[in-house]
A = this chain, B = another copy of it.
Amino acid sequence: MRAPFEEMKREFERVLRNRGFSPERAARCAAIFAENSLVGVASHGLNRFPGFIEFVERGLVKPEVEAELVSSFGAWEQWDGNLGPGPLNAYQCTEQAMTLARQHGVGCVGLRNTNHWMRGGYFGWQAAQAGFALIAWTNTKPNAPAWGGLDPRIGNNPLVLAVPNDAAPVVLDMAMTQFSIGRMETARRSGATLPVPGGYDAAGNLSQDPAAILEANRALPIGYWKGSGLAVLLDLVAVLVSGGLATHEIGQRETEYGVAQVFIAFDVTQGSSAALVNQAVEGVIADLRTATPVAPDDEVLYPGERALRTRHENMAHGIPVEPAIWERVLAM
């Protein structure tokens, strides 16, 4: 079953306006959710939309509250998300990081007291399409054990890096666990096995069974101790840059809200012309394409390439949807 992008966006917009979002904010928020499904990340698009609405209805996400400036230190600012909608706060702070970068070459916004930004890659595309490089990340509630431990202490703390390129930006969006919780839940629902080990089962063995890993609550950090360490540092830097809560503090709440995020934008065309930026990025892509594939039908993709292909396909043929979830949204 497929739903056209414009229809999905319109439906999200309708539901958001019925839940207290102004027309402008409903349109922006709906566009982000629909775009996330369009590029193939339904776990943070359609599939997450009903949970987002539930948070709005419970008062954990406040539709009409905007992020506001708390402190300015020049190229670095601290903003308070005031528990507004995560995607809108992140969009606003990405814009603000770019504004600061125009003035100072580099700009950094630390955003505290915000909510789940859904798919972080969205903000990478936002910055790259405006001609900026972006480094951004969020902390989360504890959802994986730190290396050496059994119980969840670290967040999967998704990290985004993006660079502009006229033909196609290069955008990486990766959580610190081998698979996001959303991805493992999707695999569990469809009965799929993970392509590589994604965590430990209850017996303490590495496993490719998403149900066993979710049951044991032991997702595997990328690179074992390395991803665990990176999750700890991303949390710490986010806390110090934003003045917000750490993963362990978010974990004391009844559910995940009030997370901390960092947005660092570089106005790279101050350093070289847009033509030279494109040339540098295209050079790296061209080199990747010369690699010998592991198997004849393998190919080496640059980060963001698969999302772009999925986007083209889904724009033409509609976005694949899980019927029960889509019908639930239509009935909202």
Contacts and interface: CB of A to CB of B under 8 A. Distances in A.
A114 to B, nearest CB: 16
B110 A271 contact: yes
Interface centre among A72, A149, A196 (most CB of B within 10 A): A149
A248 interface: yes
A50 interface: no
B240 A266 contact: yes
A237 interface: yes
A141 interface: no
Contacts of A258: none
A146 B230 contact: no
Interface residues of A, number: 81
Interface stretch (A38-46, A51-59, A281-289): A281-289
A309 to B, nearest CB: 14
Interface string A157-195: 001011100000010101000100000000000000000
Interface stretch (A207-215, A296-304, A321-329): A296-304
A170 to B, nearest CB: 6
A150 interface: yes
Contact of A241 (B148, B159, B268, B300): B268
A29 interface: no
Given A271-B243, A301-B148, A236 B106 contact: no
Contact of A283 (B107, B248, B287): B248
Contacts of A153: 287-288, 290-291, 300
A110 B303 CA distance: 23
A99 to B, nearest CB: 13
Given A232-B170, A232-B172, A294 B105 contact: no
Interface stretch (A6-14, A16-24, A220-228): A220-228
List 6 tightest A-B contacts by C-beta distance, closest first: A222-B223, A73-B105, A76-B105, A149-B291, A248-B287, A74-B104
